[in-house]
Amino acid sequence: PYIYIDPTGVPYPNIYWQVIFYSQFPSPIVAQVGLMFLGDYLEFPCYPERGFDPNSEEVILEPTRSERGYLLGVVEKYRQRRLSVEFPFLPDSWVRNNFLPFWNEHIPKPFLFVWDYENHPREIYLVEMAEPRLEVPYNPIYRSLRLEMVGRKA
């Protein structure tokens, strides 16, 4: 089977798409689609600064206490991934031509973050900015950028 995406009749930028599944066999196709993303990607010109932890995790707990303040139990609500990424040596032209348009168009919406697709292709995270604040200060030649992202750990 293969997938054909038909955007006919929908003006660009496309919001709604028709996905058609074709098969060479007469049997019905059973498809499960959780999330499907179409669009451009933003590739950084360098790797994150040393100290980046792609497996950083935070457990969100809900403690229950008695009327006297004694701990009765703790329930794990969910686990979230908290990523802090620093890029200290970004060219000003890349920031102006690539990052700022991304920021203006996509933040505060969630996005996919892949830190090393060639060596870790399964580490793709659906994240959002923890604090959507834009700061890209100048160093003498380069600009630096720090991104604080959070997302639910699957």
How many angstroms from the chain centroid is the CA of residue 74?
Answer: 29
Phi, psi of 128 (to 5 degrees): -140, 165
Q: d(Cα 136, Cα 142) in Å, to the nearest integer?
A: 10
Residue 35 has pLDDT above 90, yes or no: no
Q: What is the pLDDT of residue 1?
A: 40
- Alpha-carbon Rg for the chain, nearest whole angstrom, is 21
Q: d(Cα 41, Cα 87) in Å, to the nearest integer?
A: 17
Torsion of CA 117, 121, 122, 127, to 10 degrees: 10
Residue 4 has pLDDT above 50, yes or no: no
pTM of the model: 0.65
Q: d(Cα 9, Cα 17) in Å, to the nearest integer?
A: 10
Q: What is the mean pLDDT of the chain?
A: 80
Task: Provide, rounded to the nearest whole percent, the portion of the chain with pLDDT above 70.
Answer: 74
Q: d(Cα 149, Cα 48) in Å, to the nearest integer?
A: 14
Q: What is the pLDDT of residue 53?
A: 87
71: its two tokens: 């701990």
Mind listing the pLDDT tens digit for each residue in 57-113? 899 999 999 999 999 999 999 899 888 888 888 999 999 999 999 898 888 888 888
Q: Which residues contact 81 (CB under 8 A, 6 or more apart)?
A: 56, 57, 58, 125, 127, 150, 151, 152, 153
